[in-house]
């Protein structure tokens, strides 16, 4: 792992990816969970495997970690329709970035006995409020999403509250296949799923890719078996 002597992450020089296993990432996260409340961010283009990695790390750490997602701050479909941006859902301006920053601030301050975070339900394509309890005793909050490194609007405020951000890198061909499978799994016909993955998703991927140099670690995951449902965010 690319770490300094004090155990903190060394910024990725030239954004060169570091090959490591999920076990190594889990141990890195475990070290972050020592002491007072910290926030770990996991980012990457759509289909890079953010949710899969976040879930694996959170499961391994058990009571030491809680997982919240950026996707829970999607604007509601009715709001997107009013804005004329329903067909661009997933773009940076289709989220409540300031609302996400406010949640991260509450989690970082850790002044409340429990913070209830929202969750995004992909089967509904809508968010559900107050669905994830994060108790004060939990030392590490894991959050994943596309735009953790974006330096505009509320996104920059989010980045300031995250202690360490990992950028997941994956081959474009594999990433796009995952996206098509994910869209199909949630009801889109193949042609529509492919059009969305190569259209809207790809435009968002280009935005995310431009932020990778701001990551603390750029990770190329190795040695981790991919389950059939590995077409994750």
- Euclidean distance between CA atoms 89 and 140, whole angstroms: 29
**165-223: per-residue pLDDT in tens?**
999 999 888 887 888 887 788 788 988 878 767 778 899 999 999 999 999 999 999 97
Q: What is the pLDDT of residue 187?
A: 83
Going by C-alpha positions, the residue among 95, 60, 53 that lies closest to residue 74 is: 95
217-221: strand order across its sheet? 18-20, 217-221, 164-168, 38-43, 140-144, 65-69
For 92-119, the pLDDT digits (tens) are 999 999 999 999 999 999 999 999 999 9
Polymer length in residues for the chain: 233
* Whole-number percent of the chain with pLDDT over 90: 72
By C-alpha distance, which of 168, 172, 145, 160 is closest to 219? 168
Contacts of 62 (CB under 8 A, 6+ apart): none
Q: Which residues of 200-209 are buried (b: 16+ CB within 10 A; e: fewer)?
A: bbbebbeebe
The reported pTM is 0.87
What gap in Å lies between CA 36 and CA 43, rounded to an integer? 23
């Amino acid at each position: 792992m690319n770490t300094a002597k004090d155990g903190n992450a060394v910024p990725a020089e030239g954004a060169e990816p570091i090959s490591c296993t999920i076990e190594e990432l889990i141990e890195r996260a475990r070290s972050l969970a020592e002491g007072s409340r910290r926030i770990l961010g996991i980012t990457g283009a759509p289909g890079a495997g953010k949710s899969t990695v976040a879930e694996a790390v959170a499961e391994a750490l058990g009571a030491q970690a809680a997982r919240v997602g950026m996707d829970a701050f999607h604007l509601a479909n009715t709001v997107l329709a009013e804005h004329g941006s329903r067909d661009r859902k997933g773009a940076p301006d289709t989220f409540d970035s300031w609302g996400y920053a406010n949640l991260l601030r509450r989690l970082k301050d850790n002044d409340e006995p429990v913070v209830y975070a929202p969750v995004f339900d992909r089967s509904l394509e809508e968010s559900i409020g107050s669905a994830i309890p994060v108790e004060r005793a939990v030392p590490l909050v894991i959050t994943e999403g596309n735009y953790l490194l974006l330096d505009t609007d509320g996104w920059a405020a989010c980045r300031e509250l995250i202690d360490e951000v990992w950028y997941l890198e994956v081959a474009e061909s594999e990433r796009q296949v995952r996206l098509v499978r994910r869209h199909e799994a949630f009801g889109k016909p193949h042609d529509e799923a492919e059009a969305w993955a190569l259209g809207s998703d790809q435009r968002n991927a280009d935005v995310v890719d431009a932020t990778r140099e701001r990551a603390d670690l750029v990770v190329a995951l190795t040695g981790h078996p991919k389950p059939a449902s590995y077409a994750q965010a």
